[in-house]
Structure 1
Amino acid sequence: MPHSSPLTLNYTDLTRWRLRTEDGRQTWHYLNEAEAEKWPQTAADKYWLDLKLNSPTLPKPRTPLDAARNGLKFYQQLQCEDGHFAGAYGGPHFLTPGYVITMYISKQTIPEPMRVEMIRYLLTTANKDDGGWGIHVAGESTVFGTTLNYVACRLLGVNRDHPAMVLARGTLHKLGSATAVPAWGKFWLSALGVYEYEGMNPVPPELWLLPYALPFHPGRWWIHTRMVYLPMSFIYAQRLKADDTPLLEQLREELYTQSYDSIDWPKQCNNVAAAEVFYPHTKLLDGLNTICWMYEKCSPRRLRKWAVDEAWTQLQMEDKNTSYGNLASVNKPLNMLCTYFKLGNECEEFKQHREHTLDYIWMSESGMHFNGTDGSQVWDTAFFCQAVCEVGLANEPSCQDTIKRALEFLDTQQIRTDPENHTRCYRDLTKGAWPFSRRAQGYTVSDCTAEAMKAVLSMQDLPYTNKNVTPDRFRDAVDVMLRMQNKDGGFATYELTRGPTLLEKINPAEVFGDIMLEYSYPECTTAVLLSLKAFRKRQPNYRSDAIDTAFKHGLRYIKKAQRPDGSWFGSWAICFIYATWFGIEGLSAVGETYENSGTVRKACEFLVSKQQADGGWGEDYKSCETGVFHHHAQSQVVQTAWAILALLAAQYPDKNLIARGIKLIMSRQQPDGRWNQEGIEGVFNRNALIAYPNYKFIFPIWALGRWESEVGPGVIA
């Protein structure tokens, strides 16, 4: 069981933490003093823990390329031993509680250094005014965030009378108590035994028995959604829950404003705090839930067993095809929990699950949290390599070892096999793809494949690099991407769009949008088109007609996706600036510029209209929620870099306007070459922010270098 004593104020010694990286896997380890002496901290360890680096003060840059070179000099220190660039991938407040709850239910002890640092993270990121937690670190307190993180703190050993718990509990009660928690919260509390399954809408596993031809079969859902509701259905169908303990008895008192026994649980199914409903229930969903409840009262025992067995088979295939790492941070602990309920905590499968939870756990100066995936290793490294290759810094002797190691990493991370039983588990072929994090995770992502392939092609063009990624492997990657183009000409993330838009009408999650289907995205579409263009320069005769067709339909999609104001809506970072950069890059690849394209001109005018008084650009995450541009209170170096990259790609004529952004980026650079962390950069499902802390190095370096490449060397006045 996790430690249940009162909160200790003795947090760990940050100088004893080490990040181990091997084949893309990144895990944090806490050493004793003797071990720490033998294994010194790296610059990356110190940076991510916010310890003093003793980085030298660099010569003040005179030109943008000087500033890019200084940024590169600092960032090179952070490259890991296996060649990738590690980093946190946190922000959502519903991830760490899933891990903590799973460890508690499965009777696992969280190691003491991890326990106290998770407490520190949770208390540090709580709302400073009311002590609650939002859906993400930048959000206002919600029932969802406050309930789950309050429970996590208590399971980790924070005493109910600790001031932080008293404050958070008061906020939770004011917000409506845990009876008003959204659907995912209701599930986690039910599995823990501090909420009743009768108080949540059904998650029937029988859906997996339906013919795939039906448009609402789970195999047609967006991959993340089906991989979350698969383990949920396995647990829900059997009403599995934790063994009762005195601590759980206390939580049943603390989470509610009335006695637990007096709660009318069926009435809580649709009781969700109004302020945090991003996607309200539709009449169709409510009607289907009613039918499911009727079915739950009379479901045939044999049919339910068959459905549970099918869910278990699907879970086993997911575990095996991902080496027990699983798709991402929600289904990772859920699959582990299913394994515990089915096989216990002594079996090899459970031990593999527990070992691979470490892949998700990140240590920072604020404490320890559960990442959104097992990292963004391939994604960040690919962008970095493209940046330094494009702007010429990769040719400089001081960068060559960095590039060689990064190329070796990306070489090893290409997926070289297909999933076992891919048709049976509703997976696409993956041979030739690159993932978001690392090869072992095993999932194709269209833009990750595209960005990694562009990076490898660029690096293998350099005279000093190995050429280990052979032409046939690039052809495999092209085959993967060409299979992923949707009927509308766009490219989605993991798979083709498999179902009708009507599926979104049965989105049951309440707090997230656009989760039921794969959609085409301008970001993914541009990434794929640019990679196909780069490939065709090297292998012009391979599937040339198919690539021509992909370009034709992809460009048509990009133009159609442009909004009336000239922007594109971004789904994977904040938000309009990000996607508009991609939209312009895609069109510039076929020669469309500000001068000759009305589409590009309109996009540039949108970006120019959003430039702030200091010359930079800054966009708030509210844009993602509302679909309307919201200025950030302060310009951001990352978003400024995206805007500059876009305007330069478009050949925007007013270079003085762009120069103001360049000066902003240079002014924010620190004497040792770094840029400080500003606002959070990423988003998913419209309402969940997530951090990409490497962006503040990659994109300023890229923008500064592109300026010098496009405009020419010289001092900016």
Structure 2
Amino acid sequence: MTAMAGDASREKKSAPAGGADVTFTFPASGPEEETVRRALLQAVDHLLARQHAEGWWKGVFRTDVSYDAHDLFLRHSLGVLDERVAQASGRWIRSQQSADGSWPLAFDGPGHLGTTVQAYVALRLAGDSPDAEHMLRCAAWVREQGGVEASQLTARVWLAMFGWWSRDRLPMVPAGIIALPGWAPLNIYAFSAVMLVALVALGIINEHRPVRPPPFGIDELLAVSDASVRAPTSAPAGGREGALRRLNAVAHAWHRRVPRPVRKAAANACARRLVEHQEADGSWGACTPMTTWVILALHLHGYSPEHPVLKAGWKYPEECAAWPEEDVRALQTVHSPVWDTCLSITALLDAGLAADHPAVVKAADWLLTRPTDRPGDRAVRRPGLAPGGCSFQFHNQNHPDNDDTCEAVLALRRVVHPERTRVDDAVDRAVRWCLGMQSGNGGWAAFDADNTSALPGRLPFFGFGEFCAEPPTADVTAHAVEMLSACGTERHAATRRAVRRLLDRQEADGAWYGRWGVNHLYGTGCVVPALVAAGVPHDHTAVRRAVAWLTSVQNGDGGWGEDWQAYVAPAHRGRGPSTPSQTAWALLALLAAGERESAAVRSGVHWPADRQTDRGTWWEPQFTGTLVPGAVAAHYGYYGHLFPLMALGRYVQRTGHGSDAASGPAPT
């Protein structure tokens, strides 16, 4: 399995000699700290050289190869799969195969059956022979795991569209769900923002029940007879799985009895909603997987390829296609410019770059154009809340999120901008928006407020369990607390409620769970700086327990790492090969806790300082980001650079957290 060439490369090249605009507040304590400072200056130069002319930064964001496969599946289903895209995508998918024949969710992880089945079919579409050595290894691995019969739901949805799986054995997502009112237990807004888009699209797809068989079969992936796979099976006599199967059988039978005009009206309503929620870049949710489902749904519903909606929609996956080599095509799941730019500003200022440096002022100017100006889907639960939040991507007016908004405020407040009033107005709007998005339990989720129903996760619509809804999480709540504290509102009732929730959510070993990063190292790295910024003292029991846990899981080489499997296997908590980003998260927590002079921090800061490439960055092929815990891992191209730069900066500048250096007045 290989990493994308556009990631932080191991290639050794000379970094520019610069860093003249970085100021160190204190003299170096000795030769060891001088080494850390040299690494920091190289990292600053590396990052400054990669700023876009418009002011933003953006790393390559990718997940496993299943979404590359979906892109080929869509093109086949619509009859537009051309040889160049198929061959180039096939080369990328093939390059990510593990030695045992499978494909993992994360770099060097164990094989994942659903991803492997989809990768295999995609390679068949790309022209690979089932008799090729890599395909034989894959087929044997799939059969050993139970065959397509045992694969995850998403794989089976596509297999049904190719005529290889009975639709009666798939969950029924009726288009009529769109008509359920907001107070109904199972309405579309009971699902998370990302799942909602797919839910509406699947309502249309299930109405049309498309089948477009490829010119080959997949008998070699079957652990049971082909007839058994195609035919519905009876539900088990008891248990939750049996109850769900019986409920699904009832839903299928009911759906067939609904008058066709009623079903058509529901599908029309789904299509209208999708069209109304298309973003300026042509996408849905600024996300390639969701856009794939919607393009398929609207095509099935009668939209021609020349319709402006579909023509715009097709542009988005093309814009998300990275070509690490001339004949290799890898699909990025999303673009991450807002997130990467916020973190870049913070990292540069942590390092000691002047707060009025042209690079950070230009980045701030770009960020000031990012706040959303429409209510978006969250208006269902917060109808009176004025817009003001930021989203993750270039264009995503429908789904601003608390995480990006908080990081934008933390970054903007520290920039010495010539138009201070403009910055303060944006910060005020963002803070008010975030305060309005606090859930009743005191926490914050990424995209929604009070979206805590357990019902969506109990139904087999997506196979993502509890993550079909969006309850508050410790990491997002921590960023909100840190932001509010930086704004001088650490005594605000909302902040105190959030602090209490964070303290209550600490786990028995002293760590916090990380929803959007892997995993307890991320959660703990987010929470400890936030608590200290909010006034929790270094000697507080929660802080001491966190320090003890971080120290206990430090690797012998001085770094920290946590395997993606920590989401499903407790033995992996805080355990794994050291990585740049995860080492930095641990250091950020320890520095905030007042542990700068500890042995753990001294050895920890030298882990990245000693492993920096001559280009001034770090090599991190591991997936340390998360979209769906245990199901969809993410690789942020800049994580392996930005977080080490933050940690080294706070170490040499003697700051515990970014809020120490916040500037500007508190919001009104």
TM bucket (normalised to shorter chain) is 0.7 to 0.9
Shift of 1:402: 2.5
Question: SS at 2:330's partner residue?
Answer: strand
Q: Which residue of 1 aligns with 2:333?
A: 372
CA distance in 1, matches of 2:229, 2:15: 62
Could you list the per-position Cα deviations for residues 422-474 of structure 1 after superposition, in whole angstroms to 9, with x for gaps in the alignment?
A: 86899996721111122345421101100012111212x25xx5547443322
Kept in 1: contact 2:519–2:567 (CA 8 A): yes
Question: SS at 2:607's partner residue?
Answer: helix
Q: TM-score, normalised by structure 1?
A: 0.81
Find the partner of 2:512 among 560, 564, 568: 568
Which residue identity is paired with 2:332?
Answer: N
Q: Which residue of 1 aligns with 2:119?
A: 149
In structure 2, the CA distance between the partners of 1:154 and 1:281, relative to structure 1 (3 Å rule), is farther
Q: Which residue of 1 aligns with 2:560?
A: 617
Which residue identity is paired with 2:244?
Answer: L
Shift of 1:581: 1.5
Q: Which residue of 1 aligns with 2:264?
A: 305
In structure 2, the CA distance between the partners of 1:430 and 1:159, relative to structure 1 (3 Å rule), is farther
Kept in 1: contact 2:285–2:396 (CA 8 A): no
Q: Which residue of 2 aligns with 1:353?
A: 313
Q: Which residue of 2 aligns with 1:204?
A: 174
Which residue identity is paired with 1:614?
Answer: D
Could you list the per-position Cα deviations for residues 123-156 of structure 1 after superposition, in whole angstroms to 9, with x for gaps in the alignment?
A: 1101222x22234444333331121111111222
In structure 2, the CA distance between the partners of 1:519 and 1:283, relative to structure 1 (3 Å rule), is farther
Question: SS at 1:95's partner residue?
Answer: helix
In structure 2, the CA distance between the partners of 1:513 and 1:138, relative to structure 1 (3 Å rule), is farther
Q: Which residue of 2 aligns with 1:294?
A: 253
Shift of 1:185: 1.3
Kept in 1: contact 2:149–2:223 (CA 8 A): no
Question: SS at 2:34's partner residue?
Answer: coil
In structure 2, the CA distance between the partners of 1:627 and 1:363, relative to structure 1 (3 Å rule), is farther
Which residue identity is paired with 1:473?
Answer: A
Kept in 1: contact 2:281–2:316 (CA 8 A): no
Residue 118 of structure 1 pairs with residue 89 of structure 2 = yes
Kept in 2: contact 1:216–1:499 (CA 8 A): no
Question: SS at 1:363's partner residue?
Answer: strand
CA distance in 2, matches of 1:125, 1:257: 24
CA distance in 2, matches of 1:684, 1:456: 26
Find the partner of 1:600 among 543, 546, 560: 543
CA distance in 2, matches of 1:639, 1:231: 36
Which residue identity is paired with 2:135?
Answer: M
Question: SS at 1:164's partner residue?
Answer: helix
Unpaired stretches in structure 1, ≥5 consecutive residues: 1-44, 271-279, 537-543, 713-717
Could you list the per-position Cα deviations for residues 327-379 of structure 1 after superposition, in whole angstroms to 9, with x for gaps in the alignment?
A: 42321101011122221222221111111112332233694322232x11111
Question: SS at 1:574's partner residue?
Answer: coil
Find the partner of 2:68 among 96, 103, 115: 96
Could you list the per-position Cα deviations for residues 59-93 of structure 1 after superposition, in whole angstroms to 9, with x for gaps in the alignment?
A: 99824233211111122222223222222211323
Q: Which residue of 1 aligns with 2:494?
A: 550
Q: Which residue of 1 aligns with 2:369?
A: 412
Which residue identity is paired with 1:486?
Answer: S
In structure 2, the CA distance between the partners of 1:203 and 1:325, relative to structure 1 (3 Å rule), is closer
Residue 381 of structure 1 pairs with residue 333 of structure 2 = no
Q: Which residue of 1 aligns with 2:296?
A: 337
Q: Which residue of 1 aligns with 2:445?
A: 492
CA distance in 2, matches of 1:430, 1:191: 42
Kept in 2: contact 1:433–1:444 (CA 8 A): yes
Kept in 1: contact 2:75–2:81 (CA 8 A): yes
Kept in 2: contact 1:208–1:311 (CA 8 A): yes
Shift of 1:605: 1.2
CA distance in 2, matches of 1:428, 1:577: 37
- Greater alpha carbon shift after TM alignment, 290-299 vs 568-577: 290-299
Which residue identity is paired with 2:504?
Answer: K
Find the partner of 1:525 among 477, 495, 517: 477
Please show how residues 119-268 of structure 1 align to structure 2 within 5 Å.
119-129=90-100, 131-242=101-212, 244=213, 248-251=214-217, 253-256=219-222, 260=226, 263-267=229-233
Unpaired stretches in structure 2, ≥5 consecutive residues: 19-30, 657-668
- Greater alpha carbon shift after TM alignment, 362-371 vs 141-150: 362-371
- Residue-pair matches, total: 635
Residue 432 of structure 1 pairs with residue 388 of structure 2 = yes
In structure 2, the CA distance between the partners of 1:427 and 1:139, relative to structure 1 (3 Å rule), is farther
Find the partner of 2:404 among 448, 454, 463: 448
Give identity over the alignment, percent.
22
Residue 394 of structure 1 pairs with residue 354 of structure 2 = yes
Shift of 1:239: 0.9
Which residue identity is paired with 2:305?
Answer: N
Shift of 1:254: 5.0
Question: SS at 2:577's partner residue?
Answer: strand
CA distance in 1, matches of 2:455, 2:59: 37
Residue 634 of structure 1 pairs with residue 591 of structure 2 = no
CA distance in 2, matches of 1:264, 1:707: 60
Question: SS at 1:68's partner residue?
Answer: helix
Could you list the per-position Cα deviations for residues 14-38 of structure 1 after superposition, in whole angstroms to 9, with x for gaps in the alignment?
A: xxxxxxxxxxxxxxxxxxxxxxxxx
In structure 2, the CA distance between the partners of 1:85 and 1:422, relative to structure 1 (3 Å rule), is closer
Question: SS at 1:485's partner residue?
Answer: coil
CA distance in 2, matches of 1:672, 1:694: 14
Q: TM-score, normalised by structure 2?
A: 0.87
Question: SS at 2:217's partner residue?
Answer: helix
Q: Which residue of 2 aligns with 1:589?
A: 533
Kept in 2: contact 1:521–1:571 (CA 8 A): yes
Shift of 1:656: 3.2
Which residue identity is paired with 1:370?
Answer: L
Kept in 2: contact 1:147–1:178 (CA 8 A): yes
CA distance in 1, matches of 2:229, 2:580: 50
Find the partner of 1:285 among 241, 244, 249: 244
In structure 2, the CA distance between the partners of 1:284 and 1:560, relative to structure 1 (3 Å rule), is farther
Shift of 1:181: 2.5
- Greater alpha carbon shift after TM alignment, 228-237 vs 82-91: 82-91
CA distance in 2, matches of 1:78, 1:689: 25
Kept in 1: contact 2:282–2:315 (CA 8 A): no
Q: Which residue of 1 aligns with 2:666?
A: none
Could you list the per-position Cα deviations for residues 487-528 of structure 1 after superposition, in whole angstroms to 9, with x for gaps in the alignment?
A: 110000101123433443225433x34322111111111211
Q: Which residue of 2 aligns with 1:540?
A: none
Shift of 1:261: 5.5
Kept in 2: contact 1:592–1:650 (CA 8 A): no
Which residue identity is paired with 2:292?
Answer: P
Kept in 1: contact 2:277–2:284 (CA 8 A): no
- Greater alpha carbon shift after TM alignment, 179-188 vs 500-509: 500-509
Q: Which residue of 2 aligns with 1:483?
A: 436
Shift of 1:295: 1.3
Shift of 1:255: 4.5
CA distance in 2, matches of 1:132, 1:454: 42
Could you list the per-position Cα deviations for residues 253-290 of structure 1 after superposition, in whole angstroms to 9, with x for gaps in the alignment?
A: 555467756644212999xxxxxxxxx96565344323
Q: Which residue of 2 aligns with 1:274?
A: none
CA distance in 1, matches of 2:161, 2:403: 36
- Greater alpha carbon shift after TM alignment, 64-73 vs 568-577: 64-73
Q: Which residue of 2 aligns with 1:534?
A: 486
Residue 689 of structure 1 pairs with residue 633 of structure 2 = yes
